[in-house]
Every structure is written in structure tokens, then in C-alpha cells.
Structure 1
């Protein structure tokens, strides 16, 4: 019997999906799942839903719910973190203030002004959690889903002793998408992917053991944004297709996200429209819609008399726990410390690489050199990640400013003095969530 702790369980739909994932493995059905969130109302809804699923199937799973983080962490075996410091209010500021300066972000949680300030808010909180884990559950494995993934994992690796891995669905999600592009069943494709979170590269993509890149190139030849040749299937992925043609390898994460990490496609509204990516205002509207739908979905599930299906999602979390607990051999892509795994990215940074999993834990795989152009583009992001992470750990406003002086999107639009003004305005507006910064 293991204890799985979910911090940030008020995120209803994501928490529900992970709970169903855990329960999909018979070997995990005698676990204790402890739900923790600072919002008691949202926490209560998630707990009600979890208990309903357990009761519907007569599982022996124990569901606990608490707003006390230390109580939740005590004697945990696995800790899953998915939090949003400051909630929607802080996210709104991360998007709206840069937009005043001409920086339109589609998501704003990984790089750019939004990503750096997301890191400033989240890293101190997550390091506090890590230090509590060192005392209350020193052998537990931390699985982080919170962005900015690379900055957070880098900080956890450098400033705590907690075993950890950063998890994202972009690799497996992109693999399924590429399979659709070439008409292949997802179970027949294989891949070798490495780089950094949200910018990892499909170094190999195969169908039935044969190189499938020629099929992808042929498919992408149907797309020419400049000429206005945009098939319906490509409409939501123009950024990644454009970068594939420029760099030669396909990148993980969506075109919406990726457009924020490079200097080419958001410097003018004309480009934003041409590549069909969202503005900050459009993102905020969508977030309001998504949150309303999420709440509505949970209420519907709670009222329904039908059984909630035990259908596994594509998230790695439950798969990892199952592999470790049953000593089953598995493979994931995880975000880990670069201990020479990718030889032309900085030592110590956070890299996303293939990892093997078994009863002894998670074992990252050696990759070697990335293609030079791929590593070079990654390094433009790693520079920002390091300064953003150091700024958060040291509560240093100047380092945060300097991080954005290296940010590809920010520097494609703002001067040094304009960047300074934007950073000062963001610190002032978000002071409630940024205690102790000097």
C-alpha cells in the first residue's frame, strides 16, 4: 500500500484524470490518495468525485483531503505537484501587462515575461514543499507538472535533496499527432526525443521500424504559409511546421506555446494572424471558458448516476508509480538534471530525455550531442531559464530583468529601457505574490 499525495488537487479535471489513472492499475487500488489544496471548496469537490469513483467500483482505495500541506506530506511515497500561485488573477497580470508593451503571449507560463514571472512566483513555493518533504517523507519521489518546468526542476535539483522528475504530455501527445499526419496507427510509431521541456526534438521518428521523416516532409510540403497554402489539417500547427522546415527536426509542444520561445513569429500582429496563434486577450477569454467548462463537467459527473469510466490518460505519472511498485520495465520522457546526458547543452541544466523506469526508480538515458542547430536554439531558452531560476531563488529583481534581456520574444520587441519599465510594473502589480524580492 502506497501513499500518493496530490498538491493542487483543486484543479478538478486534471486531478480527476490522474485519480482515474491510478485506479486503472489493480496493483494501486489499495493505495491512499491524499488530496491537498489551499482552496477548501474546490478541494472538497475533487474529494467528492474521487470518493464517488472508488465507491462505484468498490475499490479499497482510501481518499483523504486536507488543506494542511505538512499533514498531507507526512509519510508520502509519491508527491504530485500541479499548482498555480495567485490563481487566475496573477496569470491575468502576467499576460496583460506585457501586452501593454506589445508582447502578446499565447500561454505565458514557460518563457517570456509571463514564464519568468511564473517562475518567480512558483519556485519559492515548490522549494518550500521540497524542504518539507526532506523532513516528512525523505524517500518520496516528487513528480512535478507545474510550469515553468525547466526552471522549477533546475531549482529543485540545485537547492534540495528530493528525488524528482518533471512530467509533461508534449512528447507522447506530439507523437500521436505526427502519427495522424502520416496516417499511421499511434501504436505502430516509435521515437527518440531529447532537448529541453517544450522544445525537445524528434531525433528519430519511425513507423514499423522505418524512418518516417520522409513521409512527414512530403506531408509538410503541402503547407506554404507565405503563399497562403494552408490545408485544414495544418491550421493549428503552422509554427512547428515552419520551424521544422528551418531546423530539420520536429519539436514537441504546441504551436501556440512554441511561438513564444522564438523571436520570429510574434513581433508583429500581422505575423500572429498569419501563423494563427493567439493573443493575450484571446488566451484569457479561453481560460475563462475552460474553467467554467471544468467546473460544469465536475458538477455533471457528481450528479450523474452513471459509472465514471476507468480510462487511462496519456500522462506518465501513474505509469511511473506502477512500474516502480511492480518492478515492471517501462519508458518515459522526463525532465531531469543534465549530468552529461546531452553533451552540447550546459551541465546541470534541466533536459528532457528518454528515461527507463523499473523497481529501482527512474534512469535517464544518455543522448550525446544534439544536432548543432537544435542545441543552439535550446541554449537561447536555457540562458533565460538559468537567470530566471537564480532570480527566484535569490529573490533578485535585477536577475529577473536580465533574464528578460536574454529572452527571444522580449528582445524581438522591446529595448532595454522598455524591458526595465515592464519588469518594474510587473513587480509592482504582483507584489502580493512576490514577497521578499529586492
Structure 2
């Protein structure tokens, strides 16, 4: 089976490769094709993968190319993890927003809109090429903003594009751990959009264990989200929010922490990864060891500003292990081998969550088999969550409309309608600021 990884020079590709090395079953991935627009990054990551595969006799064959069409032909699965504009673009997203006093995070608020506006046209082009060159391939999308990009690609690929994210997986794992349950044996009632969802129940043997967690302040304070949001707020909600909802519920504090930071997250990662790729280009430097040390630093500083604002302390060691690569592998196995499983994925709504329409991509538990991912019917969200989901989905639709039409006015509307942008005039200045620093937004007229 052939897997093509778009963004194949990306820093997290070794996580996917490491998961593949542990799969020795029949029907496994035997060939990996890396594609990236940056040949230097491809060479660095190829070195890391070669060192990872040392001593593994049945390791997949790895090739690399900068030719997109060549990478797509013959693919059974396409894993899309591109970053349009690179980490320099992410740093611009953050700085322009913070200068206006609003959030610049890469998937939430102004920063997420800017990232979406320059990513959607590229993602749509990829979807069209996949439909033409590999019509039987399944596309697994991890490109952020994952729900928005998956919805853009679904217009050309239908249900053959599925979005994944490690946030719900990590959240469910943490809740199960503090409740003394095995994550694989628990049903996680999770619903929302990508980076905008809530765990409303965790059932083990037919019994919902979440009320026990919400009633125990000590248990609530023993894991990441409990410390991040606070026990009182979680009890008020009656649910455990995805960590990204901290940007909504504690927006002023989060923006303040970002403004006080010595440098933004994007700037930190840009500098950190520049050092990694420079070092990995030296044949005398063990590339895998350098990658592992860099990754440990990256994971330990994840959402550091939010934890500072909440007084949540450092991340626990068990939360530094990633997870999206495991979701991707489980999804590929389920489809390729008809190994039926349940995963939280980004898929088209198809009547699952009212009041969104059928084509709206949502993030919910799905039953997965050889025919793809099938969303499980969920109970309605409470009014406060429904309002937020509908507002953010409306913004995503304006981003898609702006990307299709090239309309600057529609882009302004997308920013202005977002719950975390507090003025139409701020929205106009954001569009001016982003178009000034992003060549990829030159299409907005």
C-alpha cells in the first residue's frame, strides 16, 4: 500500500513514520512518498526517517519529490499536512492580530482566518489533483484549520477526505486516565467543530463516569483541562471543553499573556526549527537524536501562554507523546483492512448535528470501515455551545466564499463576524495588515 505525505518535509512527519514502523500486519503501508516544496527540508526529514528505520527489516520504502503530480499518482492514501507560508507566515498571523489587540493563534480567531484564507486555495488545488490523478485514494487531512480545510477539499472529494486532530484524542485519554478507565474501552461523547468541541460524557460499560469527575475537585485539578479552565467553570458547563476553548472563555487573559510573551509561538517554532533543519543537514550530526530533542522542547512549551494565564503549571510527561499519528494509522487500517473501529474525526455532518447543514464538516465520533467514516448521531448541544458552533461555522463559510471569489469585502466580513474580533474597523485593518505581509493573499481584490 502506498502512502503519500504532503508536507513531507514537515517536522512531525517522523511521528507518522514511527507509527508505520510498528505495523507489521498484512496490508500495511510498504511505500511512503514524501512531497514538499522545500527540497532542503525533504532531505533533512529523509535522514531522520532513515535513522528511524535502521534495524527494521520490513520498513516501508521512502522516496521524496518536489513534483506534486508525481507524488499523487498511484497513491492509496494521501496524508495532507502542509503549511502554506511556513512558520514565518504563522508568526506574521500572530503579530498582525496582537497589534490590534486580538488573538493571533493559528487556528482560532484572526490568525486562523488568515491562515485559512491563504491555505484554502492551495488545498482546493490539491483536492482537484487527487480527484484527477488518484481518484480511488483516501485523503487524511491534518492541515490546519483542519475542519475548514477538510470542508474545502470535500467539495471535490466528497467523503473521501477525512480530517483528523489529536486534541480530542488527548482530552479523552486524560479524562479516562484520571477516572481509572482504559481509553480504548471508553465511549467518549465528544461533539463540535475542530478545536471547538466538548466532552459531555465518558461511558464505561454503559455507565457515564463524567459526573463523578465533575463532582470531585481533586480529580478535576489533577489533569490539564481541569487546571486550565478551573473546577468551578467546568462544573458550571457540565462538560470538559477542548483546550482551545480557553481562547474563548478566557480570551482577555490569553491575549494579555500572548502580548507579554517575549516572542510568539510561531516565532519560537520558526527559530527552533531553523536550528533543527540546519543541524540535520550536517552529515556528522545524528539527525534522529536532534529531532527527538527538538520535539521534546516543542511539546513541553505547547500552549505555554494559556497555562501561564491560568496558573496551570507545566505539562505532564504523559501529555508530551502526541497522538495524531496514531489516529492516522488507525484510520488507514480501518479503511484498508475493514478493521472496524470508532474514532473522533472531522467529517461532513449528514444530519448528525442540528442545526448545521449536511455539508458542514463537524468533529464527532465516527464508525469507520472499508467504506469510510460514518458520523454517529449525537444529542443536541446546549444553547451556549450551539450559538458558538454556528457563529464559527458561519465564519468558516465566509472564508470559503472569499477564497472562491477573491472578494476583499467577504474576507472583511469573515473577520468581523468572528466572536473574538470586536469591531468591523478592526476587521478591515486586519485584512490590510495580512495582505501586506502575505503574498498568498494577493488574490483578495
Q: TM-score, normalised on structure 1?
A: 0.84
Q: Tell me which of 367, 386, 407 is aligned to 2:378.
A: 367
- Aligned 1:248-397 pairs, distance under 5 A: 248-252=238-242, 254=243, 257-260=244-247, 262=248, 264-267=249-252, 272=256, 281-284=263-266, 286-288=268-270, 290-291=272-273, 295=277, 300-302=286-288, 313=323, 315-397=326-408
SS of the equivalent of 1:398 reads helix
Partner of 1:8: 7
SS of the equivalent of 1:88 reads helix
Matched, 1:95 2:94: yes
Q: Give, in whole Å, the separation in 1 of the partners of 2:275 and 2:236.
A: 38
| CA deviations over 1:124-177 (Å, ceiling 9, x no partner) | 001111111111101110110011112112212235557100000111100112
Give, in angstroms, the shift of residue 402 of structure 1: 0.5
Matched, 1:218 2:229: no
| CA deviations over 1:260-290 (Å, ceiling 9, x no partner) | 3x2x522367x845xx998593424542465
Give, in angstroms, the shift of residue 436 of structure 1: 2.0
Q: Tell me which of 238, 241, 247 is aligned to 2:237.
A: 247
Partner of 1:148: 145
Partner of 1:20: 18
SS of the equivalent of 1:363 reads strand
Q: Give, in whole Å, the separation in 2 of the partners of 1:64 and 1:114.
A: 34
Change in CA separation of 1:420 and 1:85 when aligned onto 2, cut-off 3 Å: same
Query: Any gaps of 5 or more consecutive residues in structure 1?
Result: 224-230, 305-310
Q: Give, in whole Å, the separation in 1 of the partners of 2:83 and 2:140.
A: 16
| CA deviations over 1:336-379 (Å, ceiling 9, x no partner) | 11111112333321111211122232222222523333222211
Change in CA separation of 1:418 and 1:30 when aligned onto 2, cut-off 3 Å: closer
Change in CA separation of 1:189 and 1:301 when aligned onto 2, cut-off 3 Å: farther
Q: Give, in whole Å, the separation in 1 of the partners of 2:28 and 2:359.
A: 37
Partner of 1:51: 50
Contact in 2 for aligned 1:181/1:219 (Cα 8 Å): no
- Aligned 1:112-131 pairs, distance under 5 A: 112-131=109-128
Query: Any gaps of 5 or more consecutive residues in structure 2?
Result: 291-320
Aligned positions, number: 409
Give, in angstroms, the shift of residue 295 of structure 1: 4.7
Higher relative contact order (CA 8 A, sep 6+): 1
Change in CA separation of 1:312 and 1:371 when aligned onto 2, cut-off 3 Å: closer
- Aligned 1:32-181 pairs, distance under 5 A: 32-59=31-58, 61-105=60-104, 108-161=105-158, 163-181=160-178
Partner of 2:306: none
Q: Give, in whole Å, the separation in 2 of the partners of 1:162 and 1:346.
A: 15
SS of the equivalent of 1:354 reads strand
Q: Give, in whole Å, the separation in 2 of the partners of 1:312 and 1:428.
A: 35
SS of the equivalent of 1:410 reads coil
Q: What is the RMSD of the two structures over their aligned residues, measured on CA atoms? A: 3.0
| CA deviations over 1:110-132 (Å, ceiling 9, x no partner) | 23111111001111001111111
Give, in angstroms, the shift of residue 6 of structure 1: 0.1
SS of the equivalent of 1:58 reads coil
| CA deviations over 1:361-418 (Å, ceiling 9, x no partner) | 222222252333322221121121111121122222111111111111112xxx3223
Matched, 1:433 2:415: no
SS of the equivalent of 2:162 reads strand
SS of the equivalent of 1:57 reads coil
Q: Give, in whole Å, the separation in 1 of the partners of 2:429 and 2:393.
A: 24
| CA deviations over 1:197-218 (Å, ceiling 9, x no partner) | 1112223213454322222212
Q: Give, in whole Å, the separation in 2 of the partners of 1:137 and 1:222.
A: 49
| CA deviations over 1:236-283 (Å, ceiling 9, x no partner) | 84237565344322222x2xx3233x2x522367x845xx99859342
Deviates more, 1:335-344 or 1:203-212: 203-212
Give, in angstroms, the shift of residue 313 of structure 1: 4.7
Change in CA separation of 1:265 and 1:47 when aligned onto 2, cut-off 3 Å: same
Q: Give, in whole Å, the separation in 2 of the partners of 1:197 and 1:44.
A: 32
Q: TM-score, normalised on structure 2?
A: 0.83
Deviates more, 1:241-250 or 1:62-71: 241-250
Q: Give, in whole Å, the separation in 1 of the partners of 2:127 and 2:148.
A: 15
